[in-house]
Amino acid sequence: MKPRVLVADDDVDVASLVKAALQGGGFDVMTVANGSDALEQALEQPPSAFVLDIMMPNLNGYELVRRLKEENATQHVPIVLLSARTGALDRDYGLRIGADVYIEKPFPPRKLLETLWRLLDTGPEARA
């Protein structure tokens, strides 16, 4: 069974790029365009991992991380913040509130794949 990743990003182009890269890397991917939809989906069917933008409507990525870490069903699910915010304060804050990894946009899709494989211990060799 493929690991399922929930991607939340309000930029359609970025969400499409992430989805294509992750599907090509062996993941089942669900995308949503805002934080509140991500929270709803996560609580209905917790994924194997999250890839979250920070600047989203309804519920920003920071608040979403906090809420996911408060829920029993999602508190142990790895979170990757994928953001155009490139400052050290943004990165440090995201990691401090519970994200496992902070990747700055623009990013090489391979880096995101390798990060998720490492977080889930499901590299290409594990699926071969």
Beta-strand relationship, 4-8 and 79-83: unpaired
**What region does 56 belong to: left with phi over 0, alpha with psi -120 to 50, or beta?**
beta
**CATH number for the domain including 121?**
3.40.50.2300
Helix, strand and coil content of the chain, in percent to the nearest 5, comes to 45, 20, 35
- The domain tally of the chain equals 1
- Tell me how far apart the 2 most distant CA atoms of the chain are, in Å: 40
Question: H/E element holding 4?
Answer: strand 4-8
Q: Which domain holds residue 101?
A: 4-127
Per-residue pLDDT of the chain (128 residues), as tens digits, is 899 999 999 999 999 999 999 999 999 999 999 999 999 999 999 999 999 999 999 999 999 999 999 999 999 999 999 999 889 999 999 999 999 999 999 999 999 999 999 999 865 544 44
Mean pLDDT of the chain: 93
pTM more than 0.85: yes
